[in-house]
Amino acid sequence: MTGEGSEKDRTGLDYEALSRRYAEERTKRLRPDAVRQYQALEGEFAGFDADPNASQNFRRDPVEREADVLVIGGGYGGLLTAAQLRKRGVDGIVMVEKGSDFGGTWYWNRYPGVRCDVESYIYVPLLEETGFVPSERYAKGAEIQQQCRLIAEKFDLYRGALFQTIAQRLTWSDADRRWLATTDRGDRISARFVVAATGLYSSPKLPGIPGIEAFEGPSFHTSRWDYDFTGGSADGDLAGLHDKTVGIIGTGSTGIQCVPPVARSAKHLYLFQRTPASVDVRGNRPTDVEWFRSQQPGWQHERMLNFTQWTSGLPQAVDMVADSMTDLFREKSLAAGVEMSPEERERAEIAKMERVRQRVDAIVKDRQTAEALKPYFHYFCKRPGFSDNYLQVFNRSNVTLVDTAGKGVEEVTPKGLVVAGREYDLDCIIYATGFDFMTSFTRESGLSIEGRGGRSLEEKWSNGAHTLYGMQTRDFPNFFVLSIVQAGTSINYLHTADAQSRYMAELIDHCLRNELATVEPTQEAEDEWVEQCVALSADRLAFFEKCTPSYFNFEGARPRAFELNSPYGGGPLAYFGALEEEIHRRFAGSLEFGG
């Protein structure tokens, strides 16, 4: 970083000193076990994966089904794809979902305080089609799940859906030109096309802290919230905690949402922090229904696009969303009137983070606690957080921040947690420790997939994904993945899912109408896309190499898979353009069709 004295004079920020501090904080957190520091909710930890929202006694006989399209996953990705297929007249859809209802991430994550962190008018999809009006600018999780159900009803997706069912194995038959899917309930589903929409945050992880299994009280992951123990609901009022001392581990987007309601209800809350989150202004407010209803057809897509343009650093005449997510780009871009240079972007990020630190000072009264809550990393090293009631909890007498100075919790004992040699006695431990993300599609999805000639997808992608547009891969005909790996993604993931679902539905419909039995990428098209992804990932990798560890950078490691399992570096707008172009060309060129 350059600039030294003169930059400091103009902005009041010492970029060099901050850069050094960022690097020091990063070094504190690097660990040789990187992503291996976490463990899945399986084996001896399988109990953590039990679904608190569904009957554990649910039984049914295995079924045999024939489908045009099998959609695995009933979250927004699967729902959008199925809805787009229905819009094109595809009838034979079977959906398989692990939960007992639709909703995906919004089905599982019912922790107190759960909300959308992107404006709901651009996040909640198909608002115009479903007539759904989010009651607030940043909608509550329960409301979002309700809209998932509405999409399913509107597009008749409950018909034939198999809930509390886990798709396990997919086998392609060249002779039949179909996939055979088997499930944990013994079902056999024969399908022409398979869409794996298994979610970005569907595989919760626990920290590999020694002794987790030894804790004697209740403990659970935030995506499996135990309301039987805490009482209350996602709206708070957790009466079961009134006489309890609670420990929460994790201060990511989930932690900062669930901490305030727990703080209001618990006798005492100890929050165990490894890295402080950046917590900016939220500014939630009720929806102005008159404004909402006055929007013209096509408004939601226009607003989504406007947000993605702004957050891609492309200034527009108007910033429609105009919230804490777009302001970083807004000031600088409007002043310059042109796209920001990488250096300007970095400086804007540093200035933004400084304001986030100043906000901590303005809100948190105890100086030592305030210092510990200040994040020292580049703004986009982690998912930015927003809250108007998180920092405030540290002024409460029943809340203690246990800052682990980047080291994390050392040990779980039968009675509580240990940090810096001190044991904290707890009645309950809550793990807000996130999800396995972009490390391995087959592991995260739990799917074992055999393509042409018995070729295993796990093996093909053992060093990272090889795809065309992140969605298809050669030798696995008629198979699609919804993910952000090798796909251009907006901060608003639903914009990406919207573009991908349209593409898949167009392509599948094209095959069905034209009696094309199979479709897969040509080897050349796949190789070219992978090459492009690797070439364009250089800047992203260089940025994340400087970042404090997180799931975004494989916890600071740099495996080969990092290059391949990254989002498409050309950005969301170029990516959406490429998909549109394919649809426009009727898929000629990059794909190979079999009659």
* Angstrom distances, CA of residue 12 to CA of 9, 15, 20, 166, 404: 5, 9, 17, 55, 30
Question: Cβ of residue 32: shortest distance to ligand N01, in angstroms?
Answer: 14
Cβ-based nearer residue to ligand N01, 435 or 529? 435
Cβ-based nearer residue to ligand N01, 29 or 466? 29
Longest pairwise C-alpha distance within the chain: 73
Question: Cβ of residue 1: shortest distance to ligand N01, in angstroms?
Answer: 23
Structure tokens at 132: 């759904």
Cβ-based nearer residue to ligand N01, 274 or 378? 274
Cβ-based nearer residue to ligand N01, 289 or 405? 405
**Contact (CB, 8 A) for 139 and 155:** no
Cβ-based nearer residue to ligand N01, 256 or 525? 256
First to last CA, the chain: 57
| Strand 205-207, strand 38-40: pairing | antiparallel
Residue of 338, 337, 359, 340 lying closest to 348 (CA atoms): 340
CB atoms within 10 A of CB 488: 28
Cβ-based nearer residue to ligand N01, 171 or 287? 287
Question: Cβ of residue 291: shortest distance to ligand N01, in angstroms?
Answer: 23
Residue 207 DSSP SS3: strand
Question: Cβ of residue 473: shortest distance to ligand N01, in angstroms?
Answer: 25
Question: Cβ of residue 553: shortest distance to ligand N01, in angstroms?
Answer: 11
Q: For 283, which DSSP code?
A: -
**450 forms bridges with which residues in the sheet?**
171, 456
Cβ-based nearer residue to ligand N01, 351 or 412? 412
Query: HEC profile for 147-193?
Result: HHHHHHHHCCCCCCCECCCCEEEEEEECCCCEEEEEECCCCEEEEEE
b/e sequence 428-464, b meaning 16+ C-beta within 10 Å: bbbbbbbbbbbbbbbebbbbebbbeeeeebeebbeeb
* Angstrom distances, CA of residue 506 to CA of 510, 572, 584: 6, 19, 10
Cβ-based nearer residue to ligand N01, 305 or 494? 494
Question: What is d(CA 22, CA 443) in angstroms, rounded to the nearest whole number?
Answer: 32
Cβ-based nearer residue to ligand N01, 209 or 426? 209
Question: Cβ of residue 365: shortest distance to ligand N01, in angstroms?
Answer: 23
Cβ-based nearer residue to ligand N01, 75 or 408? 408
Question: What is d(CA 432, CA 428) in angstroms, rounded to the nearest whole number?
Answer: 13
Question: Cβ of residue 248: shortest distance to ligand N01, in angstroms?
Answer: 9
**Contact (CB, 8 A) for 122 and 498:** no
Cβ-based nearer residue to ligand N01, 69 or 116? 116
Question: Cβ of residue 191: shortest distance to ligand N01, in angstroms?
Answer: 30
Cβ-based nearer residue to ligand N01, 118 or 508? 118
Question: Cβ of residue 87: shortest distance to ligand N01, in angstroms?
Answer: 26
Question: Cβ of residue 550: shortest distance to ligand N01, in angstroms?
Answer: 5
Residue type, 145: Q
Question: Cβ of residue 346: shortest distance to ligand N01, in angstroms?
Answer: 21
Question: What is d(CA 134, CA 293) in angstroms, rounded to the nearest whole number?
Answer: 12
Cβ-based nearer residue to ligand N01, 106 or 155? 106
Task: Spell out the residues 6+ positions from residue 98 whose beta carbon is closer than 8 angstroms to its own.
Answer: 51, 164, 165, 166
**Contact (CB, 8 A) for 476 and 459:** no
Question: Cβ of residue 356: shortest distance to ligand N01, in angstroms?
Answer: 15
Task: Spell out the residues 6+ positions from residue 253 whose beta carbon is closer than 8 angstroms to its own.
Answer: 117, 277, 383, 385
> Which residues sit at the interface with ligand N01, rule CB under 6 A?
29, 115-117, 201, 207, 209, 249-255, 257, 272, 274-275, 383, 404, 408-409, 432-435, 550-551
CB atoms within 10 A of CB 240: 18
**138 forms bridges with which residues in the sheet?**
none
Helix runs in 514-537, H state only:
523-536
Question: Cβ of residue 434: shortest distance to ligand N01, in angstroms?
Answer: 3
Question: What is d(CA 68, CA 93) in angstroms, rounded to the nearest whole number?
Answer: 6
Question: Cβ of residue 380: shortest distance to ligand N01, in angstroms?
Answer: 12
Question: What is d(CA 373, CA 395) in angstroms, rounded to the nearest whole number?
Answer: 12
Cβ-based nearer residue to ligand N01, 249 or 482? 249
